[in-house]
Structure 1
Amino acid sequence: MGKFVINTRKNGEFQFNLKASNGQIILSSEGYSTRSACENGVESVKKNAPDDSRYERRTTESGKFRFNLKAGNGQVIGTSESYESESGRDNGIESVKKNAPDAEVIIED
């Protein structure tokens, strides 16, 4: 089962990473000014992850593949790592759909 790990960046902002059961990061957030806002971001990912229409599939300028998960208002709530192939990216999306809804939340300080 996946897990969300919330930690504090060097600049004091809070960030979450969604990790698959193998420990690989499959989705990362932007920085949040408060832990509460970061926790709200986690809840938004849990809610929106199962909906395929919330995923924006992208190709980078260097030809790698990424995706963003967006909330209902269109705001990006999580960004993937870069993948070498389109199928890798699509597998990443499926992993978020599978892992996010029931993932536990761990707070690291």
Structure 2
Amino acid sequence: MSGKFQLKKTSNGQFHFNLAASNGQVVLSSEQYKAHASALTGIDSVRKNAVREGAFEIKDSSNGKHYFVLKASNGQVIGQSQMYASLHSAEQGCESVRRHAPEAVLHDESAAPAA
């Protein structure tokens, strides 16, 4: 089973997506987008940048845990991971995004955008 992008509409009418690995674990979450089309563009950006050298940055949180961000070539953050207890786990999370994002199927769970 491959990974999947889950696109949802939030309670405030915006759009948000998660990338889930083949085991169902969410490995990357997006910001909120005002437009459905912008969220789709964000998913395309994740697909392209996940395989780009230097696109991932692992960071330390204030509570000692680790997380990573995926950045576009212009430096803009296009997704963030969950918190990981170890640096090694965060590195494995990056690898999971690299492996799953390019071929992940899209499950659009948002209502069809208004015309």
For 1:27 and 1:76, the matched residues in 2 are separated by: 11
Aligned partner of 1:6 in structure 2 is 7
**1:75 aligned to 2:76?**
yes
Aligned partner of 1:66 in structure 2 is 67
Q: Percent identity?
A: 45
Aligned partner of 1:44 in structure 2 is 45
SS at match of 1:99: helix
The alpha-carbon deviation at position 101 of structure 1 amounts to 0.4
1:44-81 C-alpha deviation (Å, 9 max, x unpaired): 00000012401111000000000000001110000000
Deviant stretches of 4+, over 4 Å:
none
TM-score normalised by L of structure 1: 0.98
For 1:45 and 1:18, the matched residues in 2 are separated by: 9
For 2:65 and 2:53, the matched residues in 1 are separated by: 21
- Structure possessing the higher radius of gyration over alpha carbons: 2
For 1:76 and 1:10, the matched residues in 2 are separated by: 23
For 1:86 and 1:10, the matched residues in 2 are separated by: 34
Aligned partner of 2:113 in structure 1 is none
For 1:85 and 1:17, the matched residues in 2 are separated by: 22
- How many aligned residue pairs are there? 109
| Structure 1 residues not aligned, in runs of 5+ | none
For 2:55 and 2:93, the matched residues in 1 are separated by: 14
